[in-house]
Amino acid sequence: MKGYFKKNNIEFEDIDISKDEKQLQKMIKDSGQMGVPVVDIDGEIIIGFDKEKIDKLLKIHPVK
Amino acid sequence: MIYDLIIIGGGPAGITAGIYAGRQKMKTLLITKEFGGQTAKKATEVCNYPGFERISGMELIDKFVEHLEKQESVEVKFSEAEKIEKNNDIFTIITTDNEKLESKSVIIATGVDPRPLEAVGEKEFIGKGISYCVTCDGPIFRNKTIAVIGGGNAGMEAALFMTNYATKIYVLEFGPDIKADEINQKDAKESGKIEIITNAVVKEIKGENFVNSLVYEDNVSKDPSTGSGQVKTLQVEGVFIEIGHQPATALAKGLVDFTKRDEIVVENETFATKTPGLFAAGDNNSGPYKQIVTAAGEGCKTALAAYDYLRKLNSNSK
């Protein structure tokens, strides 16, 4: 997923929840679940690499 | 647009096939939901890939992907293939978004999916305490008590990985013995955090919003007259299921033969299926020894075999 953001020139903050207990708890609270990855795009929480949702929110048009 | 080759899958087999196809300048599309497959999800530590004495599966995959991205004739599409059809030498791959992609040859490198436990509550709590991916979700269970289901190498290695995070780890094995290698069993014993329970049949995973307990039946105490044993409960907040895999091969139905275990039957020199131009590389085919290096090797062979197939196809059509 990080590769996908880089490929599309999307700036992002990479939070490693294995090293940050506070952010881990925030992720569980915000997403209502315990799996990774989770993406927060302007307050919209996306669980897993849901490309369709991510493309829609970031207005990414699939590059050929 | 008709591709020379479509590769389905982004694990070691699919990525290697992509690198070889790129070097042969084949117009290639690689379709995958994400990169890494079981190598990224399960391989906590890889110690048998030549050139790397010790590397995590995720790091190894990052290196593979970097290499793949250098291939100019290979495009990557993050999607999921659902069905393959063939008409007059042209394959059509239909994705879950109902997109239709055409190619002259296809490599199926879809690998395997984790085998579900089929216990009550399993589906309900996926992502809410139940996980099939220790390297992805393990760190979330820091300072918690968890259970790993399965006493083979995968289960024991998952439990050993979790000793870095969890306070207590139960390993539940259905059979009377632990099948994991001696060294894994010894490390588990020495960790002081792992408790092994054999003859344990998991019945239910319970919780409210998240998992809080696991119910199992103790087969040792089974009463022959009633057929049921003592039912016990463990207070756990996480459950990792490590009871094996099933080949992800349903998409090839109609074009290939399957083994009893749903693996794709391949000819063992080029990994060709019974349909000309259709190949299967990696954990999803009928070959033995499911390793990262064998998957990569099969990816290489299938890409080169697809190249030869295309040359013959083109010379026949001239």
Tens of pLDDT, residues A6-64: 878 899 999 988 888 899 999 999 999 988 889 999 999 998 888 778 888 988 876 54
pTM score, two decimals? 0.81
Check whether B233 has a pLDDT greater than 50. Answer: yes
Q: What is the ipTM, given to two decimal places?
A: 0.75
Tokens 């399957």 correspond to what residue?
Answer: B258
Q: Which two tokens stand for residue B115?
A: 């085998």
From chain B, the residues in CB contact with A8 under 8 A are: none
When the pLDDT of each residue in chain B is averaged and rounded to a whole number, the result is 94
Percent of chain B residues topping a pLDDT of 90:
83
Find out whether B300 and B306 touch, Cβ atoms under 8 Å. Answer: no
Any idea where the domains of chain B sit in the sequence? 2-114+245-317, 130-241
Higher pLDDT, B306 or B316: B306
Among A3, A35, A64, select the one facing B127 at the smallest CB separation: A35
From chain A, the residues in CB contact with B134 under 8 A are: none
Q: Does residue B187 sit in helix, strand or coil?
A: helix
Best of B34, B68, B95, B141 to substitute, by most chain A Cβ atoms within 10 angstroms, is: B34
B222 near A CB under 8 A: no
Q: How confident is the model at residue B192 (pLDDT cuts 50, 70, 90)?
A: very high
Provide CB contacts within 8 A for A60, sequence distance 6+. Answer: A8, A10, A54
pLDDT in tens, B253-310: 999 999 999 999 999 899 999 999 999 999 999 998 889 999 999 999 999 999 999 9
Question: In CATH, which superfamily holds the domain spanning B2-114+245-317?
Answer: FAD/NAD(P)-binding domain (3.50.50.60)
B250 near A CB under 8 A: no
| 8 Å CB contact of B136 and A35 | yes
B75 near A CB under 8 A: yes
pLDDT of residue B135: 83
CA distance A42 to chain B (A): 23
Check whether B98 has a pLDDT greater than 90. Answer: yes
Q: Does residue B15 sit in helix, strand or coil?
A: helix
Best of A26, A29, A34, A49 to substitute, by most chain B Cβ atoms within 10 angstroms, is: A34
Among B140, B210, B238, select the one facing A17 at the smallest CB separation: B140
Nearest residue of B to residue A29, measured between CA atoms: B209
Amino acid at B23: R
pLDDT in tens, B11-57: 999 999 999 999 999 999 999 998 988 888 777 788 899 999 999 88
Any idea where the domains of chain A sit in the sequence? 2-58
Find out whether A39 and A58 touch, Cβ atoms under 8 Å. Answer: no
pLDDT in tens, B121-161: 999 999 899 999 888 889 899 999 999 999 999 899 999 99
Check whether B251 has a pLDDT greater than 80. Answer: yes
| CATH of the structural domain B130-241, one choice from 3.40.50.300, 3.30.110.30, 2.60.120.10, 3.50.50.60 | 3.50.50.60
pLDDT of residue A62: 60
User: Distance (Å, rounded) from C-alpha A34 to C-alpha A25?
Assistant: 9
- Please list the active-site residues of B: 133, 136-137
Q: What is the CATH number of domain A2-58?
A: 3.40.30.10
From chain B, the residues in CB contact with A4 under 8 A are: 78
Tokens 């992509």 correspond to what residue?
Answer: B18
Check whether B240 has a pLDDT greater than 90. Answer: yes
| DSSP-H helix ranges across chain B | 12-23, 37-42, 57-68, 134-137, 153-162, 182-191, 292-317
| DSSP secondary structure letter of residue B265 | P
pLDDT of residue A64: 43
Q: Which two tokens stand for residue B46?
A: 């890889």
Check whether B181 has a pLDDT greater than 80. Answer: yes
| 8 Å CB contact of B77 and A36 | no
